[in-house]
């Protein structure tokens, strides 16, 4: 298996600039190499072949991110702006997908460092926390909706009691047995 890409070893500023050029997708590989050499003359510019190899993986990641963005846009279009829970679930799934992809890519590399293992563990933890947050938010919303419904039902029962439509004992039994209101 191949070693680590020369591009991942570049200074963060150079790599960031190079990834910006890749995202813009308006220059050829030779033009990108020349542009990096001109902008950062003190740094070793990547070779055309290493840039080509890096670009294929970068394009795959960008494609996945665009698919997730398109799915989120379709979800919002279909369900409206207040999708809330479903959008949160989609985001959690996207984070999980990205963390899994990073773990699989790291598995392909023979020389994975402890630092990279730690980063993958943090990414996996963040993905799990995103899923947990979505579940907790859903439970909170459901609890609030139930409490609101119980308040409304109790108000209606109070109104029925004041009008005398039901006997106090019957009203008390309905509250306890049907609605669980004590």
- Residues 113-153 have pLDDT tens digits of 667 667 767 776 776 676 676 677 778 888 899 889 888 88
For residue 31, what pLDDT is reported?
A: 92
User: How much is the pLDDT for 158?
Assistant: 84
Q: Is pLDDT above 60 for 65?
A: yes
Alpha carbon distance 23, 9 (integer Å): 19
- The stretches of 4-113 forming alpha helices (DSSP H) are 12-24, 29-39, 48-79, 85-108
Q: Give the tokens for residue 126.
A: 């963040």
């Amino acid at each position: 298996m191949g070693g680590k890409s020369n591009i991942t070893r570049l200074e963060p500023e150079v790599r960031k600039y190079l990834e910006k050029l890749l995202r813009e997708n308006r220059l050829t590989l030779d033009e990108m190499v020349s542009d990096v050499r001109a902008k950062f003359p003190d740094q070793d510019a990547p070779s055309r072949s290493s840039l080509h190899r890096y670009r294929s993986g970068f394009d795959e990641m960008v494609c996945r991110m665009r698919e997730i963005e398109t799915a989120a846009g379709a979800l919002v279009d279909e369900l409206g702006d207040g999708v809330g829970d479903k959008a949160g679930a989609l985001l959690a799934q996207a984070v999980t997908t990205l963390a899994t992809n990073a773990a699989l890519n790291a598995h392909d590399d023979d020389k994975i460092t402890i630092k990279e293992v730690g980063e993958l563990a943090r990414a996996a933890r963040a993905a799990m926390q995103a899923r947990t947050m979505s579940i907790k938010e859903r439970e909170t919303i459901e609890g609030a909706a139930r409490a609101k419904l119980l308040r409304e039902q109790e108000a209606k029962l109070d109104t029925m009691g004041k009008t005398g439509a039901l006997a106090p004992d019957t009203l008390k039994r309905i509250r306890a047995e049907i609605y669980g209101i004590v």
